[in-house]
């Protein structure tokens, strides 16, 4: 079994989305200060690094990250490589989709982000989860519209994945955001496991 950690490392100097707060880690108790243990305070935005966007991100009164079902965040996933496109992707670039699919797109960080037309294509084909390696899933001029289309349809968005060292293929996917009450987003640890691992068979969908 091979496990790929596809999460960004959280640090004060990491890349963040414009206007989002940068992470700050502050030691409040320390062994070097004569305390019995180390304890730190972590400050970060709800959309820091690898994170999940729930409907509350755009829609007041909707489900936040702590109320989201976990099923769309665990299961078989297909990773496709769009890194050679370097432009917003359209439905023809994606090809055939499968209902209830977890789809991960490599190359969004190089420009292969979603257009509104592609987002609607995912909705029409009942995709349940879409993840990208960019800080935002949408093309710059359609960013809000892409989020609106996907979240309105109940499709889970995962942004900020680290996919550069993973080749396209089928995997078992786990992405668990922090369980933060009333949160519009949740930083997460995401992994891919070789989909041929026998013990995972009963969890395939």
Q: pLDDT digits over 74-86, tens only? A: 999 999 999 989 8
Q: What is the mean pLDDT of residues 43-65?
A: 96
Joined together, the tokens standing for residue 158 give 């995962």
Q: According to the model, what pLDDT value does residue 199 have?
A: 53
Is the domain spanning 3-197 CATH 3.30.310.50? The answer is no
* Residue 34 CB neighbour total at 10 angstroms: 7
Tell me how far apart the alpha carbons of residues 104 and 49 are, in angstroms, rounded to a whole number: 16
* pLDDT number for residue 27: 96
| Model confidence band, residue 39 (pLDDT cutoffs 50, 70, 90) | very high
Cα-trace Rg, the chain: 18
Q: How confident is the model at residue 26 (pLDDT cuts 50, 70, 90)?
A: very high
Instruction: Give 5's strand partners.
Output: 191
DSSP string covering 110-142: GT--B-HHHHHHHHHTT--EEEESSSSSB-GGG
């Amino acid at each position: 079994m091979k496990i790929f950690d596809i999460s960004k490392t959280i640090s004060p100097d990491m890349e963040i989305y414009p206007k989002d707060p940068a992470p700050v880690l502050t030691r409040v108790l320390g062994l070097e200060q004569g305390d019995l243990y180390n304890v730190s305070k972590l400050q970060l935005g709800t959309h820091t690094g690898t994170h999940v966007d729930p409907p509350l991100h755009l829609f007041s009164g909707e489900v936040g990250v702590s109320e989201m079902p976990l099923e769309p965040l665990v299961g078989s996933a297909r990773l496709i490589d769009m890194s050679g496109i370097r432009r917003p992707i359209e439905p023809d670039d994606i090809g055939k989709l499968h209902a209830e699919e977890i789809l991960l797109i490599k190359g969004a960080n190089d420009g292969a982000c979603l257009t509104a037309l592609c987002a609607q294509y995912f909705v029409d084909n009942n995709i349940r989860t879409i993840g990208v390696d960019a800080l935002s899933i949408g093309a710059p001029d359609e960013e809000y519209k892409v989020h609106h289309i996907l979240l309105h349809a109940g499709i889970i968005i995962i942004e900020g994945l680290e996919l550069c060292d993973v080749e396209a293929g089928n995997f078992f996917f786990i992405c668990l955001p922090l369980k933060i009450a009333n949160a519009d987003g949740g930083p997460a640890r995401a992994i891919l496991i070789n989909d041929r691992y026998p013990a995972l068979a009963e969890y395939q969908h």
